[in-house]
Structure 1
Amino acid sequence: MTSELESAAAAPLAPILRWATIVLDGQLNPAIYHPSWLTAHELLRAGEMDRVRIEQADADFTRFEAIWFTLEASRKEFELSSTAATTTVHQLRDLTLGIFKLLSHTPISAVTMRQIAQCPLDVGGWESLANSFSSLDAWSGLLGDRPRLGGLSVCRDLPDLGGSPRTLEVTLEPSALFDGGAYIIVSERIYVGEAPGQGANEAMDALSSGWLEAMRRASEIVDGLQRHPAMGRGR
């Protein structure tokens, strides 16, 4: 029997926005990833160097945009992203390999390869998609027998707090500590103003006024999940 996912894959696709990123976690020296360094090592052509837009390049953080990629580096993370002018995402791989071939001494603890897409849907399309693919049966045609849920995230908007928008997100993942257990993340985000001179004060006000309610809500959600029949309880 053809799964819903296979049927969808066979149907004509609406235009989408898609890009890719490579993220490296480690101990990095942001200053070295300067466009001039890439040019000196023939990783960036001279003609491309002329069109680079540097936002910051110092010992703590580097970020610049070239024609076909964006590079961002902090002391803990390196990220290379494609742009609308990227010919193929393989360029990101090749540039990353070229950079770290020269910087082979750099301690790297993790590599993340990511594709990101924005897909237009008909009215109600997202709800239909989410409802369809929350069932693991919908994936069996592509993933084979016995697919399992690797994670689940749900979110909602909360009433504003003192005029600041709030969102709530709950993420469930398999536990890395308890075999067969669940890893639960309850996040409440308050979007405070970013006007010069007021960001910190407004953020602290939001923290003070919203902390107890956020902790109560999080405790209720965690307790409710633990009591839910679908969760079971470890013995």
Structure 2
Amino acid sequence: MSTFSEIPELSGVSIVVIGRFNPLIFSPRWLRDNDLISVEAADGADIEIIHQDICDFVVEQVHVQVTENRLSIGSAHPAARSVARDLAVGALSVLEHTPIRVFGLNTDQHFRMPSVDEWHAVGHHFAPKDDWGDILEDPGTRVVEMLGRLPGTSAYSVNVRLEPSRQIRPGVYFRINQHYSLQDDEEVDASADGYDFTVNRLVECITKDWDEFLAFSSRVPLHLLKAALK
């Protein structure tokens, strides 16, 4: 069996909410005024832009980005994962009447492979090339994506995506999305407005599922890589 580092070389976690937002109110000062961060953290924030169409800043190693229809709060620092969660829950709790359509918990992980041959072996395992030789010259795996459900969570579905890493070579990138929706996306698109989630329901889902989602997201890449490299 091939040996590879079971700790991702790069990783991140985020909470993404699709709804209706006012980007202009989101700022380190607003977070401070609502006791979500300290005065020192607000003063030390790295602000990219705060505008009526978008706000984008980093505070306490957490990246906050808000547009009129999307809020994303996440971190590429493992030690700041709980800070990102608490900031998302806290900010949305203040804005308790925010219309919410869907939301998701996400992880991004990049694993370095011991060699190019083993990197290829992962792609060959999940997307065998035997039937492609007469169609394409030098076929290679671009994306493998699976959609399913995860018992014991409030999520509507879970999507697992793996592909060659663009940041680590040779490396494999995993994107895991735990998707929350009260109905099929097609039904949401056809409904009157589709904004069915309440903030209280969102907070309840995140609080209940967060730890298990992180544990699941840690298990999945290792399970798949070990299966491919055994």
Q: TM-score, normalised by structure 2?
A: 0.52
> CA offset at residue 12 of structure 1?
4.9
Query: CA separation in 1, counterparts of 2:32 and 2:47?
Result: 14
Partner of 1:120: 112
SS in 2 for 1:89: helix
Q: Over aligned residue pairs, what C-alpha RMSD do you find?
A: 3.5
Partner of 1:221: none
Q: Which amino acid aligns with 2:98?
A: T
User: How many corresponding residue pairs?
Assistant: 140
Query: CA separation in 1, counterparts of 2:161 and 2:18?
Result: 24
1:76 and 2:69 matched: yes
1:165-216 CA distance string (max 9 Å, x none): xxxxxxxxxx987xxxxxxxxxxxxxxxxxxxxxxxxxxxxxxxxxxxxxxx
- Computing the radius of gyration from Cα coordinates, the structure with the larger value is 1
Q: TM-score, normalised by structure 1?
A: 0.51
Q: Which amino acid aligns with 2:46?
A: R
* Structure 1 spans left out of the alignment, 5+ residues: 1-6, 144-149, 156-174, 178-235
Partner of 1:35: 28
Distance 1:14 1:35, change over 3 A: closer
1:60 and 2:53 matched: yes
> CA offset at residue 72 of structure 1?
0.3
Distance 1:90 1:11, change over 3 A: same
| Native 8 Å contact 1:56 1:64 kept in 2 | yes
1:118-149 CA distance string (max 9 Å, x none): 211121333211222348xxx9xxx9xxxxxx
1:100 and 2:85 matched: no
* Structure 2 spans left out of the alignment, 5+ residues: 129-145, 151-158, 165-183, 187-230
Query: CA separation in 2, counterparts of 1:64 and 1:12?
Result: 32
| Native 8 Å contact 1:14 1:120 kept in 2 | no
Distance 1:15 1:98, change over 3 A: closer
Partner of 2:172: none
Query: CA separation in 2, counterparts of 1:13 and 1:154?
Result: 17
Map 1:208-227 → 2, pairs under 5 A: none
> CA offset at residue 67 of structure 1?
2.7
> CA offset at residue 152 of structure 1?
7.7
Query: CA separation in 1, counterparts of 2:12 and 2:62?
Result: 10
> CA offset at residue 101 of structure 1?
0.8
Distance 1:80 1:18, change over 3 A: same
> CA offset at residue 55 of structure 1?
1.0
SS in 1 for 2:107: strand
1:25-81 CA distance string (max 9 Å, x none): 011111111110000011111111121111111211100011320100000100012
- Which has the higher relative contact order, 1 or 2, with Cα contacts under 8 A spaced 6 or more apart? 2
Query: CA separation in 1, counterparts of 2:160 and 2:62?
Result: 30
1:23 and 2:24 matched: no
Distance 1:59 1:152, change over 3 A: closer
Distance 1:176 1:102, change over 3 A: closer
Map 1:223-234 → 2, pairs under 5 A: none
